[in-house]
Structure 1
Amino acid sequence: MRRPLLLLLTILGLVAGSMPVAAAPAHERVRPLAQAHAHNDYEHPRPLFDALDEGFTSVEADIFLVGTELLVAHDPEDLDPARTLSSLYLDPLRERVIRNHGAVYRGYRGFQLLIDIKTEGESTYAALDALLRDPRYAFLWSSYRYGRVRQGAVTAVVSGNRPCATMTAQPTRVAFYDGRIANTTDLGPGSDARLTPLVSDNWTNLFTWTGIGAMPADQRAKLRDIVGTAHRAGQRVRFWATPDVPGPERDAIWGELVAAGVDHINTDDLKGLADFLREHG
C-alpha cells in the first residue's frame, strides 16, 4: 500500500511543479523606497494602494473626529462617512501585514503612517488611541512601554493638533509625536526619540531657495546641520511645502534632500518621486 501512495504523491508533486505560479501583485514585487512619503495620500484614486504600488514607505492621512468615527479628508466639506481611517488604512494594512508575515513589504521594517489630526487634539487623540489599541490592529504598531520602544510593522506618528502633554504622560503608547524642526525642544538633544522620532517643518519657513540655480552654501549647510542634529538624536526628518511641480527646480530640491539624507521626501506626485529615487536615491 505504501508504494502506490508514494508513487501518487510523486506524480502529484511533478504535476504541481510544472504548473505556472501566479505572480505576486505589483505592489508586493516593488522595491520599497525608504525616503518616499505620500503627502495627503488619501487624495489619490486608490488611497494607500497607489503609494504601495510605487514602493512608498510612508503615507499621510488627515483625520476628523465626527461623533465617534475618525473620518479621512483634507477639508470638512469633503467628509464622507464611508471614508474612515479604518476602511482606508487600518484594515488594508492589517490584511497586508498578515499576508506578508509581519511586514508591509516582505523583509522591510520601517513603514510609517503619519496621522494628521484636524479636529480638537485631546478628544481626537483619545479616539485614535483607542482605535489603534483595538485588538484587530494592536499587533501592527511600533509601541512604547515604560521607557522602551518595540519596532512593529507600522509606526504610527501623530501630527497636526498633537496633545503633547497627554502623549508624554502615557506610560504606554502605540503612536508617536511629530515634532517641529523650528522648536528646539523637539529637535535633537532637547527631545527624546522615544516620543518624537520624527521632526517636520514647512520648507518655506526655513529656506528661501526654491530650486532655481544652485542652492546657496549657507542654506545647504543649514539643511545638513538640521539632518545631522536629528540623526544624532535618533530622529528622522521631513519637510512639507517643498516645490512639487515637475521640472528642473523640483529635481534640484529633491537632489539636495537626497544628498543631505532627509528621511522622508514629501510629494503628491507618486510616480514622479518614485522614478526620481530609483534613478538618484
Structure 2
Amino acid sequence: MRSTISLLCTVTLFLPAGFCRGEAPALPRSLPQAHSHNDYEHDRPLLDALDRGFCNVEADVYLVDGKLLVAHDWIDLRPQRTLEALYLDPLKERIEKNGGKLFPGDQRLTLLIDFKSDGEKTYPVLAAILKKYEDLISGMHDGKWTPRQIDVIISGNRPIELVTNDKQRLAGLDGRVSDLDGVDSAEAIPLVSDNWSSHFEWRGDGEIPAEERRRLEAFVTKAHHQGRRLRFWGTPDTPEFWGVLQRAGVDVIGTDDLGALQRYFDRE
C-alpha cells in the first residue's frame, strides 16, 4: 500500500494537499450563508454540500417503523436512506478525520431537519438518535447550552412545547417571522424561516421596491437584535436575488444549485 501511495505522489500533481504526508485533507472554505435546500436530492447527499463549504443543509424526514427516513415525498422513501446513514454517520466520520472540525475556526454546521410526519411522535425518536451523537451536537449539556460542531434545528411539523420543555434537548426550533414578537429565547428558536411570498410581492424582476427593501431590512435587524438568524424559502434561485438577500443581511440563503451559489460567493 505504501509503495502505491509513493508512486501516486511521484506521478501526479492533483492529489489533495497533505495526502503524501498522510495528513487529513484540508478543510474547505466555509460559506456560512450557503444552504443546501432539499439536500438529500443531490447525487451525494451532504457530501456535495460539505465539499463546497456549505454550512447549512436540509433533510426532510418521515417516521416509519421507528426509523427516520429521508425523502421529500412518502413515495420516495427507502429503508436504507435513514437520517443516520445519510447525515449523522458521515458527519461523525468527517469530524473524526479532521481533528474534531468540519470547517475552519469556530464555524458550525446547521442540520435543518424538516418533520414531515407527526411532530409529537417524531421528536422522541429524533431525540434518542441524537443522543448517540451527543459529543458532536450543540445542546443542553450539564444544564447549559453548549455549542458543538453541529446545530440541529427542527422545522416542518414542529412540536414546539415538547422541544422547549425538554431540558436535555439536542435541537432547537425553526421559527417564523411571527416568532420575532414572541417570548421564546434564541436558544430555543435560533433560526427564523418564512415563505418569501407571505411577506413580499417582488420576485426578482427589476429593483426591489423601496418599501419591501425596508421591510426586509427591518426583519433582519429585529432577528439579529434577538440573536437569531433569518432565512426565507420560496425565493428565486438567481444571483440577482441572492445579492438582494445578502446586502440586506439575510443570514441563510438557500439553493437547489450548489455550484451556482458557490460560484456566487467565490466572486467576493
Deviation per CA, 1:107-136, whole angstroms, max 9, x where unpaired? Answer: 3422100000000111111100110012xx
Q: Once the two structures are aligned, what percentage of the paired residues are identical?
A: 47
Could you say which residue in structure 1 is the equivalent of 2:14? none
CA contact (8 A) 2:239 2:261 kept: no
Could you say which residue in structure 2 is the equivalent of 1:44? 42
Q: Deviation at 1:53?
A: 1.5
**1:1-20 alignment runs, 5 A limit:** none
Could you say which residue in structure 2 is the equivalent of 1:273? 261
Tell me whether 1:139 sits opposite 2:135 in the alignment.
yes
Tell me whether 1:254 sits opposite 2:242 in the alignment.
yes
Q: Deviation at 1:196?
A: 0.3
In structure 2, the CA distance between the partners of 1:29 and 1:167, relative to structure 1 (3 Å rule), is closer
Deviation per CA, 1:33-79, whole angstroms, max 9, x where unpaired? Answer: 01000000000000001101211000000000000111000000000
Q: How far apart in 1 are the matches of 2:50 and 2:24? A: 11
Tell me whether 1:264 sits opposite 2:252 in the alignment.
yes
Q: 1:178 aligns with which of 174, 186, 207?
A: 174
Q: Deviation at 1:253?
A: 1.2
Gaps of 5+ in 2: 1-5, 11-17
SS at 1:173 equivalent: coil
Could you say which residue in structure 1 is the equivalent of 2:205? 212
SS at 2:29 equivalent: coil
CA contact (8 A) 1:148 1:194 kept: no
Could you say which residue in structure 1 is the equivalent of 2:194? 201
Q: How far apart in 1 are the matches of 2:104 and 2:202? A: 38
**1:1-281 alignment runs, 5 A limit:** 21-22=18-19, 28-134=26-132, 137-145=133-141, 148-181=144-177, 183=178, 186-187=179-180, 190-244=183-237, 250-280=238-268
- For normalisation by structure 1, the TM-score amounts to 0.85
Larger CA Rg, structure 1 vs 2? 1
Q: Deviation at 1:251?
A: 2.0
Q: How far apart in 1 are the matches of 2:24 and 2:38? A: 24
Q: Deviation at 1:144?
A: 2.4
- For the aligned residues, what is the CA RMSD? 1.9
Q: Deviation at 1:145?
A: 4.6
In structure 2, the CA distance between the partners of 1:147 and 1:188, relative to structure 1 (3 Å rule), is farther
Gaps of 5+ in 1: 1-15, 245-249
In structure 2, the CA distance between the partners of 1:188 and 1:55, relative to structure 1 (3 Å rule), is farther
CA contact (8 A) 2:61 2:113 kept: yes
Q: How far apart in 1 are the matches of 2:162 and 2:142? A: 15
Q: Deviation at 1:32?
A: 0.7
